[in-house]
Chains A and B, each alone.
Chain A
């Protein structure tokens, strides 16, 4: 669950989607990958304190990732805290991330959800691209939408760079990532045209990346029909700009019960199960998991 901007409700959504999934009988493990600003535990009513966290795993104090997953008040739902360790390091190396991702695949869980940090740094984008389903969260405000596009752009070009091998083409992608580049490559369509001129096989790989990159979109804090339509508009822009099909997974309406539940340190779906916000969270889970 990513989105580029902070404060748009990623942790709220992760906590609530996971709670609904756990209550439907799935084994769920959450990973707070926001190492610099972890607070997913608070949304679930868990006190972090000096408890075991991801830092212990990265610093080799714990070898088995499952041992880092602590229980939460919700049966079937465990949490891997992202709290900083004694070294205070928020950055991870590529090797650490690769080791973590291999271990995640072995966790005894039906569903593992990463709550990603704001921004588009390398570790955040790597975790996003590794997921079977990547979610981009935004609110209807221009700032959040701008950051959501920046996030998608970073993820898209990173996936492209790792899929294409020819050095001249990789250099071209690097140039294209700067929107004001001198080659005049403005959009991924322009880039595809430029790649086509260098190497047909690489252009074919480019098209396969386009087909395989299908993130989901959730619009949070929606107040009216116009803002519901924002989700359709964002998917349209992604189609026309990137050439990618985004799935508009759903939206969460603005609901005062949300901040009340955060203040109560309980997931909305448990604290206010009949609220509009809870209804829309359950709808998204139903659509995605068929629960």
Chain B
């Protein structure tokens, strides 16, 4: 159990040391919401001052771990030491770190990179009948705590299209060639197999059209 001032940036964000940029981003978003002044989760446990101190450390950690170069340097310092010298002893971020973000500001969109399929997501959240329709995609997204607007910001797909995908509103969807690309990007954000999701969704859509004649 490390006091706050001695925790590594990964411990502060509760993100894995090998975590992808998306995992760092997601951990940061959750941490920021958790220790925000209006948060219900800290009520009765931490005082406003304690939350503010935790938030300052979280912003400091994020400023380093969200910057590829600073993160490499920080990781190298962590690896070099048997103790925990990678952790600054002062609250000032290391040289070159981006200034701490105002907690009220929206976080930037995470970089658009495919996340590897997550076996836990595939295993415990996969649909019982094997079909990835809009309802199932929505359930998986919500269970991961990801807002639709975050996916829109990451993928640059219009939120209305994403809503239509989740709502199975086939008549509002773009032409098939675009739809397939959208579905694959959506699936990547949820750590699902992109081709499987695109095949499954469009297959269900064709079945539905055929039934309607």
Q: How far is the CA of A192 from the CA of B139 in the complex (A)?
A: 41
Question: How many residues of chain B are within 8 Å of chain A by beta carbon?
Answer: 27
Partner of A232, one of B3, B142, B145: B145
| B46 & A225 in contact (Cβ 8 Å cutoff) | no
By size class, the interface of chain A is: 20 to 34
Given contacts A145-B40, A229-B33, A240-B4, 17 further A-B contacts (CB under 8 A): A142-B40, A142-B44, A146-B43, A149-B44, A188-B1, A189-B1, A229-B145, A232-B30, A233-B34, A237-B41, A237-B42, A239-B14, A240-B54, A243-B1, A276-B139, A286-B124, A287-B124
> Which positions in B face A, CB cutoff 8 Å?
1, 3-4, 14, 30-31, 33-34, 39-46, 54, 124-125, 128, 139, 141-143, 145-147
Given A229-B33, A237-B34, A283-B125, check contact A224 B43 (CB 8 Å): no
Q: Which residues of B contact A232 (CB under 8 A)?
A: 30, 34, 145
Q: Which 3 A-B pairs have the closest CB atoms?
A: A243-B1, A233-B41, A233-B34
CA distance A145 to B4 in the complex (A): 23
Does the CB pair B44–A241 fall under 8 Å? Answer: no
Q: How far is the CA of A232 from the CA of B143 in the complex (A)?
A: 11
What are 21 A-B pairs with beta-carbon distances under 8 A? A141-B40, A142-B44, A145-B43, A146-B43, A189-B1, A224-B142, A225-B141, A228-B145, A232-B30, A233-B30, A233-B39, A233-B41, A234-B41, A236-B31, A239-B14, A241-B45, A243-B1, A251-B143, A276-B139, A279-B128, A287-B124
A residues 237-291 in Cβ contact with B at 8 Å:
237, 239-241, 243, 251, 276, 279, 282-283, 286-287
Q: Determine whether A74 belongs to the interface, using a CB cutoff of 8 Å to chain B.
A: no
Q: By DSSP majority rule, is chain B's interface helix, strand, loop, or mixed? A: loop
CB nearest to B136 among chain A residues? A279
> What 0/1 pattern do residues 204 to 233 of A give for CB contact below 8 A with B?
000100100000000000001100111011
Nearest CB in chain A: distance from B49 CB, A: 12
A9 near B: Cβ within 8 Å? no
Asked whether any CB of chain B lies closer than 8 Å to the CB of A140, the reply is yes
**B1-A207 in contact (CB<8A):** yes
Bound: A188/B42 CA distance, A: 16
A279 cross-chain contacts in B, Cβ below 8 A: 128, 139
Which among A141, A210, A225 has the greatest number of chain B C-beta atoms within 10 A?
A: A225
Distance of A234 Cα from B41 Cα, bound (Å): 6
Chain B positions within 8 Å of A225 at CB level: 141-142, 145-147
CA distance A93 to B45 in the complex (A): 31
Known: A189-B1, A192-B1, A225-B145. A236 touches B39 (CB 8 A): no
